[in-house]
């Protein structure tokens, strides 16, 4: 995805819910997300990570748990400058610099941020869904109500640098705030919806891992 593929950027504030807001990126009609096979991955312990054109792909691998994504098979071509390390399981394999994982799992962008580099969760609508969605009557009804961009969003992640670039160009009224659980949009010069940065742990979450505390605190 290049910046020229983007038609609109906005923030979904999750009004009425305690969830953090998130970015929504709407692509032009002839634009789509990059295919999985075009990415080249690096291995960081149990994390496999790749980025291209601002888009990020990642999965976590557990040698003792192959139930992620229903046990689906993921083939990941490694970067030329990266040698894959042993996977520690008999079911997975490495062939011709391609790692074959079965049932890996993903986590939030904040987990990748803590492990490697800052990435931002985003919902992206490929151009083909802007009009060619499963229910055309629903689309045209929303269009008559002035909501022509209704369609199918796909959850993914983008680099922090790319997120800032597209915000500066398409939504300059927005900014990004680093909360405890990732980077989230906010009104530039305003206050974040759910300020958690450096918040004192509650008596319930003290001593828990980040993931456990997140479930309790939310």
Rg (CA), the chain: 19
How many whole angstroms separate alpha carbon 166 and alpha carbon 161?
9
Please provide residue 157's backbone torsions phi and psi, each rounded to the nearest 5 degrees.
Answer: -140, 150
Alpha helices in the chain (DSSP H): 109-115, 136-144, 160-170, 210-217
pLDDT tens across 61-97, in order? 888 888 888 888 999 999 998 887 777 777 788 888 8
* Average pLDDT in the chain: 81
Per-residue pLDDT at 173 exceeds 80: yes
In the block, residue with structure tokens 């509650």: 202
How many whole angstroms separate alpha carbon 191 and alpha carbon 185?
10
To the nearest whole percent, how much of the chain has pLDDT over 70?
Answer: 80
Characterize the bridge pairing of strands 73-77 and 55-60. unpaired
Give pTM, 2 decimals. Answer: 0.78
What tokens appear for 108 in the block?
């939030």
What tokens appear for 22 in the block?
């998130």
What tokens appear for 29 in the block?
């009609």
**Contact in structure between 42 and 82 (CB atoms under 8 Å):** yes
**Contact in structure between 193 and 187 (CB atoms under 8 Å):** no
- Give the CA distances from residue 117 to residues 20, 77, 110, 114, 199, in Å, rounded to whole numbers and listed in that order: 20, 20, 9, 7, 22
């Amino acid at each position: 995805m290049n910046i020229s593929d983007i038609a609109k950027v906005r923030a979904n504030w999750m009004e009425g819910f305690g969830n953090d807001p998130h970015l929504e990126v709407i692509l032009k009609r002839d634009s789509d997300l990059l295919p999985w096979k075009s990415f080249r991955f690096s291995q960081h312990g149990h994390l496999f990570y790749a980025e291209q054109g601002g888009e990020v792909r990642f999965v976590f691998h557990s040698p003792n748990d192959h139930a992620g994504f229903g046990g689906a098979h993921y083939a990941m071509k490694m970067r030329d400058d990266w040698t894959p390390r042993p996977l520690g399981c008999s079911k997975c394999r490495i062939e011709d610099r391609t790692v074959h994982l079965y049932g890996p799992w993903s986590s939030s962008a904040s987990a990748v941020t803590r492990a490697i580099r800052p990435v931002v969760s985003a919902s992206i609508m490929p151009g083909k869904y802007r009009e060619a969605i499963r229910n055309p009557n629903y689309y045209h009804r929303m269009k008559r109500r002035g909501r022509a961009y209704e369609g199918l969003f796909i959850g993914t992640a983008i680099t922090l640098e790319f997120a800032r670039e597209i915000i500066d160009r398409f939504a300059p009224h927005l900014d990004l705030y680093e909360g405890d659980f990732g980077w989230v949009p906010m009104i530039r010069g305003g206050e974040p919806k759910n300020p958690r940065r450096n918040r004192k742990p509650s008596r319930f979450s003290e001593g828990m891992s980040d993931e456990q505390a997140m479930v309790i605190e939310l």
